């Protein structure tokens, strides 16, 4: 019953807060390229942080602590690549290392550090990011898990990103917001080790903090895989 109450509250809260998000909504996105980018579920930059924080707060207020929950902490490392669906079709390679903490059997929170490397005919740089996130588990069994994850943070590139190209003469900034959301799964490999894999959407922009003329933004979809160790 408590889980149902939390779900209903989240649906209402998302509808209330997602509309005025300050993050840019990419013009011309198709729903299958950015499934949750459609209003009012705009999970870009600021909302990538606001919604996980909202979920966590609601869970702590409306649900009881599970005293039987064990093996709460896990450390993971993963790599992945996303493929930009807007010109110049930038590819972004990422290496992520993070810590995940189970709050409830259906919810965890964590923070990751990332090396983010976009590359195409105009861009070739490296960025370093920190991103808090929350995971909602549809399945949480000893042998395997299935979850939805969303989180938002900051990324600093050694060169402004994105760079101007033949279709857009705007120059991005070195400091940007970054949002990732997607579906992930884990399969138990041993007493403490798990194999991770999944698909995600990546958004990078500065939320027009330097004005629209300095916010060309980036959106891409891709896959990731890695390993996790229960601490």
Residue pLDDT, tens place only, 155-170? 999 999 999 999 999 9
Domains located in the chain, CATH noted: 67-230 (2.40.160.20)
Residue spans of alpha helices (H) in 63-181: none
- Of residues 60 and 167, the one with the higher pLDDT is 167
Q: Are strands 127-140 and 144-161 parallel, antiparallel or unpaired?
A: antiparallel
- In which element (H, E) is residue 97 found? strand 91-104
The answer to whether residues 58 and 5 touch, using CB atoms and an 8 Å cutoff, is: no
Q: How confident is the model at residue 22 (pLDDT cuts 50, 70, 90)?
A: very low
**pLDDT at site 17:** 41
**pLDDT at site 14:** 45
Percent of the chain with pLDDT over 90: 66
- Of residues 57 and 47, the one with the higher pLDDT is 57
What are the structure tokens assigned to 195, written together?
């194999």
Mean per-residue pLDDT, 8-36: 55
Q: What angle do CA 27, 131, 43 make, to 5 degrees?
A: 30
**pLDDT at site 28:** 65
Mean pLDDT of the chain: 87
């Amino acid at each position: 019953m408590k889980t149902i109450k939390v779900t209903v509250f989240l649906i209402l809260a998302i509808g209330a807060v997602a509309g005025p998000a300050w993050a840019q909504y990419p013009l011309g996105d198709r729903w299958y390229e950015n499934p949750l980018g459609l209003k009012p579920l705009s999970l870009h930059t600021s909302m990538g942080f606001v919604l996980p924080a909202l979920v966590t707060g609601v869970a702590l207020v409306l649900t009881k602590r599970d005293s039987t929950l064990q093996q709460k902490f896990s450390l993971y490392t993963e790599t992945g690549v996303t493929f930009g669906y807007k010109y110049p079709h930038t590819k972004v390679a990422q290496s992520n290392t993070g810590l995940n903490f189970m709050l409830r059997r259906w919810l965890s929170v964590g923070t990751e550090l990332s090396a983010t490397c976009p590359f195409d005919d105009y861009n070739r740089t490296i960025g370093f990011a920190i991103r808090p996130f929350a995971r909602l588990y549809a399945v949480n069994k000893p042998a395997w898990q299935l979850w939805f994850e969303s989180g938002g943070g900051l990324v600093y590139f050694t060169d402004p990103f994105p760079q101007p190209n033949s279709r857009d003469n705007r120059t991005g900034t070195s400091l940007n917001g970054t949002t990732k959301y997607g579906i992930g799964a884990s399969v138990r490999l041993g007493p403490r080790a798990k194999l991770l894999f999944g698909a995600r959407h990546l958004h990078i922009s500065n939320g027009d903090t330097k004005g629209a003329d300095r916010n060309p933004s980036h959106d891409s979809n891709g896959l990731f895989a890695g390993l996790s160790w229960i601490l």
